[in-house]
Amino acid sequence: MPKITFLGAGSTVFAKNVLGDCMLSEALRDSHIALYDIDEKRLAESETMLKTLNKNINDNRAEIISYKNRKEALRNANYVVNAIQVGGYKPCTVTDFEIPKKYGLRQTIGDTLGIGGIFRGLRTIPVMLDFAEDMAEVCPKAWLLNYTNPMSILTLAMSKATSIKTVGLCHSVQACVPHLLKDLGMEKENLQWKIAGINHMAWLLEITSNGVDLYPEIKKIAAALETPHGNMVRLEIMKQFGYYVTESSEHNAEYMPYFIKDKYPHFIEKYNIPLDEYPRRCVEQIANWEKQRDELTKDNTLSHKRSTEYGSYIMEAMETNISYTIGGNVMNTGLIPNLPSDCVVEVPCLVNSSGVIPCYVGELPLQLAALNKTNINVHQLTVEAALTRKKEYIYYAAMLDPHTSSELSIDDIKNMCDDLIEAHGDWLPEFK
């Protein structure tokens, strides 16, 4: 009976997907599911929802227990799912957006790169290191399945500073090709593809249908699109650099210096870029939560269909030794030779009872590796700032961020960082 610990279990919808998936896996149905969250109300809501699911789809075979003590929730765990958000919408996400806006720096999502991604990383890494300390004591052999952003930054910090077996998981790899072909109205069969790079900026390196290269057709249809749509940034990146990128247009608009430009304000309309998109989504989710909460916690007929989230498939593969392939975020141990070894890459990984086994990819096309490196610089410097507690590395990360450095002067970047550090207060450790 494996033990699955879910940190951030108050994320009720996501807990339903990952743990509901586990209840639909024969290898995981009898698991001890340990729930932990610092928000006791949300934790109780998730427990209620999961117990209803356990009854309806799993004959009450799983044992579901909420814990107030994190270390006890982790004790003897085989798998730890991490889905926390440190600082929440208020005050931290608001701070991440509003202070840069005063300097004229606009963002869309701010959870992975850019000034928002840097500060989200800085406030989350210390919490993750606390998790690692507890895990090293009470479940040292457990696998940490990290879903929290900024994915590359957090996975790099855990891999460099702890002994915990960690893999970073994201939705963008498995969603990339289906969404692309649907957007372009292309129905194809016997698809094969190859994706590799870094999280949120991995590349569709190859795509075939019945052995025929689909890229010429994809590019032809994409070039003919005229109506404004939600995928314009990614298609422009493909047009200019030759390959399609895995994560959404609103994300990639802020990972590069080309799209959100104070000098070219018409680009926002031209590329249909939703500024302040993440705060807007937060407000919408908060407004809708009461209705959604009742749907999840008061519906005695609640059910679930297995999702495409990797989590349950990873655990199932490790329990059964039946191999499964994922797109995982792992240290670059020569997997992509023209990216730094001291970075996290997103590559195909084989999973079985031996664990997560990353696959060799080879060198990326030079222009793609170059784009990845501009993001990797920020990942590495943010982790260095978190581990050394030296403020100068925060400055370096921000000064080398592609979007930030293309819009602001060095003095403004450093002053903005100082304002963000002050506004975050106790959400950040002390930097010297």
**Domain tally, the chain:** 2
Question: Do 228 and 323 fall into the same domain?
Answer: yes
Which residue from 8, 250, 1, 208 is spatially nearest to 113, judged by alpha carbons?
250
Whether the Cβ atoms of residue 15 and residue 6 lie closer than 8 Å to each other: yes
Q: Is the pLDDT of residue 226 over 90?
A: no
Question: Do 141 and 200 fall into the same domain?
Answer: no
The angle at the Cα of 140, spanning 137 to 146, to the nearest 5 degrees, equals 110
Question: Do 71 and 185 fall into the same domain?
Answer: no
Q: In 10 A of CB 104, how many CB atoms?
A: 11
Specify whether 379 is catalytic. Answer: no
Question: Do 127 and 262 fall into the same domain?
Answer: no
Question: Do 50 and 178 fall into the same domain?
Answer: no
Question: Do 268 and 396 fall into the same domain?
Answer: yes
Q: Decide if 226 is inside a domain.
A: yes
Q: Is the pLDDT of residue 227 over 90?
A: no
Give 282-336 pLDDT, tens digit per residue: 999 999 998 999 999 999 999 999 999 999 999 999 999 999 999 999 999 999 9
Residue 148: which domain range?
Answer: 3-88+106-170
Give 156-170 pLDDT, tens digit per residue: 999 999 999 999 999
What is the Cα 47 distance to its own chain's centre? Answer: 24
Whole-angstrom distance, CA of residue 193 vs CA of residue 7: 33
- Kindly name the residue from 171, 229, 304, 403 that is annotated as catalytic: 171
Whole-angstrom distance, CA of residue 383 vs CA of residue 375: 13
Give 92-143 pLDDT, tens digit per residue: 999 999 999 999 999 999 999 999 999 999 999 999 999 999 999 999 999 9
Whole-angstrom distance, CA of residue 332 vs CA of residue 348: 12
Q: Decide if 59 is inside a domain.
A: yes
With a pLDDT cut of 70, the percent of the chain lying above it is 100
Whole-angstrom distance, CA of residue 128 vs CA of residue 80: 12
The mean pLDDT of 396-406, rounded to a whole number, is 98
Question: Do 196 and 64 fall into the same domain?
Answer: no
**Reported pTM:** 0.97
Whether the Cβ atoms of residue 200 and residue 251 lie closer than 8 Å to each other: yes
Which residue from 102, 142, 148 is spatially nearest to 127, judged by alpha carbons?
148
